[in-house]
A and B are shown apart, each in its own frame.
Chain A
Amino acid sequence: MPVPAITATKIEKWFGEGEARMQALREVNLEAYFGEMLYIVGPSGSGKTTLLSVLSGILRPDAGTVSVEGTDIWSLGGDALADFRLHKIGFVFQDYHLFPRLTTVENVAVPLILKRTDWDQAVASARKYLEVVGLKGRENLTPVKLSGGEQQRVAIARAMTGQPDILIMDEPTASLDGDTGQAIVEFVKQNVLNDKRSILIVTHDDRIYPYASRILKMADGRLNGTEKGSV
């Protein structure tokens, strides 16, 4: 029996007020397991990103619980929740959100610096992760001097450097051409995924579906089926 990394139960989320009020998530139940690469797919506005935000501890749901490794994360206080994200979650944002004024290696070191690791030690560690993602020799360049695929790999290295149990990737291929997108996801599956890590990917890029362990379909705020795989 696989071990669940995330268990979400009856998640509901509303946005707006009055007549503009709309429900983004409707009684969503989900389990993500260690060792799997779970995709959440669906059309724009279906609630994928909202769900990802609730699961990763950055958007509080209006109802339901999210348990990560047995801890109900939405019962945590502000600082404890921030610590949870820092130590348990690695983020790869759709637009990467790399710091343009920092070098590549400094960007990768950011999570370690937030963990109060000594600067030099953090940079040395970040250097190793850049090597893992194949960017050795690009350490001292700023992100603007890198291609889109390279920037994505820097973002992945940054997410990995904190050694998170859960990696959250939001539309990881949206800004990349087809070949680069597939190469990135293949790289993640081969080098980042392991038995002690769960990877959640929100995407609507069907070219990368073959790399998924499971694919959950979402529409109108509901999970309404599994497109691929089973637990």
Chain B
Amino acid sequence: MRGILKLAYKLLVNDKAKFTALIVGITFAVFLMVQMMAMFAGILNRASATVLNVGASMWVMDPAVQTVANTIGMPDYVLDAVKSMQGVSYAVPFYSGGALVKLNDGTYQAVTVVGLDDTTLFGRPPLLQGRIEDVYGENAFIVVKDTEYRKLENPPVGAEFEVNDNRGVIVGIAEVSSQSLFGVPTLYTTYNRALQYLPNPRFTTSYILVEPKQPSDVARIKQQVQALGYLALTRDEFIDRISDFYKYQTGIGTNILIMTVMSFIVGLSISGQTFYTFVLENLEKFGALKAMGAKSRELIFMILFQASFTALTGYGLGIGLCAGLISLARVRLPDYAAMITYWNLASAFVMVVIIAAVSSYFGVRRVLRIEPFEIFRG
């Protein structure tokens, strides 16, 4: 069968014009599909950045919370109640809110302030410079060195600044695995200092971070939290909830889905039509092979191989092109939110397989219908 595959390969690639058109069509379609999905994945990843960076196993919140940035304060008794629940190893408060930093030139820069539990500093980011214990110092903040860091004029350790008209001092520079969606720098401090510096509503606890004693305690903790009128989610569930919000309630998901489907249709149209034309142009030759003694299944195999080879080559090139352009974009735009995930790759692969299957289906139908006698009749 290797010889027949090689024959199919040569018939395909030696027709350079058609092969190029096929490859360009599929590459372009894959590029568009993956690019759309990568942009969406990047947005979703950044939307869940705080959840990913803090790394808590469970998050307790108001049931109306849809995204990590959209916090609704909970009264202090909830923290005490959660701490005393069965199955809870420990629970700490967590604050997340917005503030304004006054820059040297007198302008203001919005920042996200994260308040970590004073006792444990649970969820603290790894430091690049400075010492974590310095966060207990007067007016101390840790700044995250991500692509937004420059918006605070790259403050070094020891730099002083104004945050909400209060004095602040940078005592450490940290890094995080995932940066925020909203394009603002992030400052970490203690929970109580965050409450002092930021204007507070009546209830101040944004989230309660919970560590269950055992994984099997998760369900029980959820039930107990629900009985209090609040919501407990595992880290993955919270990420899914945030993703669902952006997918279904912002229009972003619908738009991306439409663009992805359009890319798929464009790819299917270009590749399907070109491949079908390729088969039609070779129809007599397939008929000649049939007359010479090629079996129908061998001809089907040849066509499937040609379609698969084209599809997979286009898939690889499309992914490569997308990855290259994302890398290039990041050189110029460090904030560029796009990431190629395994899910993106798998989705694009499925779509490419569908393109190959549909393209080859019509070709196979024509080849199976051709009678070798027609070759004799000319």
- A interface residues with partner B (beta carbon < 8 Å): 49-50, 52-53, 56, 58-59, 78-79, 82-87, 89, 91, 93-95, 97, 99, 101-102, 106, 110-114, 116-119, 122, 170
Contacts and interface: CB of A to CB of B under 8 A. Distances in A.
B3 A93 contact: no
B378 A95 contact: yes
B298 A114 contact: yes
Interface in B239-293: 284-285, 287-293
Interface string B1-25: 1111011001100110000000000
Given A102-B11, A113-B3, A113-B4, A49 B295 contact: no
A97 B285 contact: yes
Given A110-B289, A114-B292, A58 B373 contact: yes
Contacts of A111: 292-293
Contact of B291 (A49, A79, A85, A95): A85
Given A85-B292, A86-B292, A58 B376 contact: yes
A85 B296 CA distance: 13
Contact of B373 (A53, A83, A89, A113): A53
Count class of interface residues, chain B: 20 to 34
Q: What 8 pairs across the A-B complex have the smallest Cβ distances? A: A86-B293, A101-B14, A97-B288, A85-B293, A113-B3, A58-B372, A59-B373, A119-B3
Given A114-B298, A117-B3, A93 B288 contact: yes
16 contacts: A50-B373, A52-B376, A53-B376, A58-B291, A84-B293, A86-B293, A93-B376, A99-B11, A102-B14, A110-B292, A113-B3, A113-B4, A114-B289, A117-B3, A119-B2, A122-B3
A84 B294 CA distance: 11
Interface in B357-378: 371-373, 375-378
Interface string B315-337: 00000000000000000000000
B293 A82 contact: yes
A170 B377 CA distance: 9
A114 B293 contact: yes
A101 B15 contact: yes
B149 to A, nearest CB: 57
A84 B293 CA distance: 7
B323 to A, nearest CB: 32
A83 B6 contact: no
Contacts of B290: 58, 82
B296 A78 contact: yes
B152 to A, nearest CB: 62
Contacts of B15: 101
Contact of A93 (B7, B371, B375): B375
Contacts of B294: 82, 86, 114
Nearest to A168: B376
A87 B293 contact: yes
Interface in B118-138: none
Given A56-B291, A97-B284, 20 more contacts: A53-B373, A53-B376, A58-B373, A78-B295, A79-B295, A82-B290, A86-B294, A93-B291, A93-B375, A97-B375, A102-B10, A102-B14, A106-B10, A112-B3, A114-B289, A114-B292, A114-B294, A114-B298, A116-B4, A117-B3
Contact of B376 (A85, A86, A170): A170
Nearest to B377: A49
A139 B46 CA distance: 61
